């Protein structure tokens, strides 16, 4: 009996130590916290009368389009776990070329690695900035996955992934809003992604601000209410900005199909990742989308597709899951998804580009 008690104490002590190690090597953000802002002292102030162009892009940690990653297929049997250094280098150049050609005022990236084993522990925001000339004197960023070691057999190392916003104009402040996480056991809760909304407030000449919001919602929460809760949290953020009469633009990878777009239209491998609940509907009901629900389901819906699955059974644009929403006080002048050239070769997502003006 004494031996069993001692053995139990040893096992419990080991588990406690393991939990402590996991806790102190993982990321525990607050519900709302300041995000870092890096701005050059001579960063210009935005003229609110000027039209602004925004580009949003899930860059898939600059991995390119030559891999099928383990999570790209429903049974997690994809053969690849990481891009090569050469693939990252080439993709950084392709993404930079698109940015330089389009010359947006604001660049919103999702899936930017920083400190991840699979991408050689590099800060990818630091890697791409020198390729963008001196266009973007300001940036802010927020992690949504960070751990010293993830024991998943396809990872077995550090992870680090963040949202970034590059701006031609002065960012006066930035906030990280925590989104609800999927239900999980205590260890998985520490190691899983903590998805977020990154808010950047841009100074304008009239002493006001325009708010730019960047997000990336959950991708693997089937069978839970996670997407409903994440959309509800975003709606509260937007309602707060509206109540303050602050103009805003929200963009990112929502991992949700448009209202009215049945997942039965997709290959079964693609349909697997979505529910029939149309969780994104509240955002379309209350706010403006750069592509309307009618356009996203109409005869020309293919031109709005934003996702190019790595799954070899699909391997072509077949759905819209990335969006740009905007507030009253702003007018959409242009919107398009860049579906050709280097924009189609760099990621499993295509870049979204929109031009806005203040209402007269």
CA 307: distance to chain centroid? Answer: 13
Contact of 308 with 350, CB cutoff 8 Å: yes
Within 13 A of 348's CA, how many CA atoms are on the CB side? 21
Residue 233, domain member (yes or no): yes
Q: Does residue 8 belong to any structural domain of this protein?
A: no
Looking at residue 65, its pLDDT comes to 97
What is the domain count for the chain? 1
Q: Is residue 354 part of a domain?
A: yes
Q: Is residue 169 part of a domain?
A: yes
Residue 145: count of CB within 10 angstroms of its CB:
22
pTM for the model: 0.95
Report the DSSP pairing between strands 106-113 and 157-167: antiparallel
CA distance linking residue 85 with residue 90, whole number of Å: 9
Q: Which residue, 31, 29, 35, 5, is CA-closest to 214?
A: 35
* Cα separation values, 25 from 111, 182, 190, 200, Å: 20, 20, 9, 28
Pairing status of strand 209-216 against strand 248-253: parallel
Domain that holds residue 329: 31-358
Residue 129 lies in a domain: yes
Can you give the CATH number for the domain in which 97 is found?
3.60.10.10
Q: Is residue 14 part of a domain?
A: no
**Is 16 contained in some domain?**
no
Q: What is the pLDDT along the chain (360 residues), one digit of tens a residue?
A: 677 777 777 776 666 666 677 887 899 999 999 999 999 999 999 999 999 999 999 999 999 999 999 999 999 999 999 999 999 999 999 999 999 999 999 999 999 999 999 999 999 999 999 999 999 999 999 999 999 999 999 999 999 999 999 999 999 999 999 999 999 998 899 999 999 999 999 999 999 999 999 999 999 888 899 999 999 999 999 999 999 999 999 999 999 999 999 999 999 999 999 999 999 999 999 999 999 999 999 999 999 999 999 999 999 999 999 999 999 999 999 999 999 999 999 999 999 999 999 986
């Amino acid at each position: 009996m004494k031996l069993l008690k001692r053995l139990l104490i040893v096992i419990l002590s080991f588990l406690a130590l393991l939990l402590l190690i996991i806790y102190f090597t993982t990321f525990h953000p607050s519900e709302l916290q300041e995000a870092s802002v890096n701005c050059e002292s001579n960063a210009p102030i935005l003229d609110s009368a000027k039209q602004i162009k925004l580009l949003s892009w899930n860059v898939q940690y600059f991995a390119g389009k030559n891999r099928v990653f383990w999570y790209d297929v429903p049974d997690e049997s994809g053969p690849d776990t990481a891009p090569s250094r050469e693939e990252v280098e080439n993709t950084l150049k392709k993404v930079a070329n698109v940015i330089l050609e389009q010359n947006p005022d604001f660049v919103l990236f999702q899936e930017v690695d920083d400190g991840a084993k699979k991408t050689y522990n590099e800060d990818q925001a630091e890697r791409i900035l020198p390729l963008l000339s001196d266009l973007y004197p300001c940036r802010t960023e927020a992690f949504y996955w960070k751990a010293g070691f993830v024991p998943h057999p396809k990872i077995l190392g550090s992870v680090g992934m963040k949202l970034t916003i590059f701006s031609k104009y002065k960012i006066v402040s930035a906030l990280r809003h925590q989104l609800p996480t999927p239900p999980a056991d205590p260890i998985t809760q520490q190691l899983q992604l903590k998805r977020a909304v990154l808010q950047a407030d841009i100074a304008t000449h009239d002493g006001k601000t325009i708010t730019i919001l960047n997000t990336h919602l959950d991708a693997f929460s089937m069978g839970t209410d996670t997407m409903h809760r994440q959309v509800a949290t975003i709606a509260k953020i937007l309602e707060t900005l509206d109540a303050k009469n602050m103009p805003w633009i929200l963009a990112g990878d929502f991992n949700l199909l448009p209202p009215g777009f049945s997942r039965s239209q997709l290959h079964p491998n693609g349909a697997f990742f979505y529910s029939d609940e149309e969780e994104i509907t509240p955002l379309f009901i209350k706010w403006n989308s750069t592509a309307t629900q009618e356009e996203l389901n109409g005869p020309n819906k293919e031109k709005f597709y934003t996702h190019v699955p790595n799954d070899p059974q699909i391997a072509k644009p077949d759905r819209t899951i990335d969006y740009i929403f905007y507030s009253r006080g702003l007018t959409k002048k242009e919107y398009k998804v860049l579906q050709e050239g280097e924009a189609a070769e760099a990621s499993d997502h295509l870049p979204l580009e929109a031009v806005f003006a203040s209402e007269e």
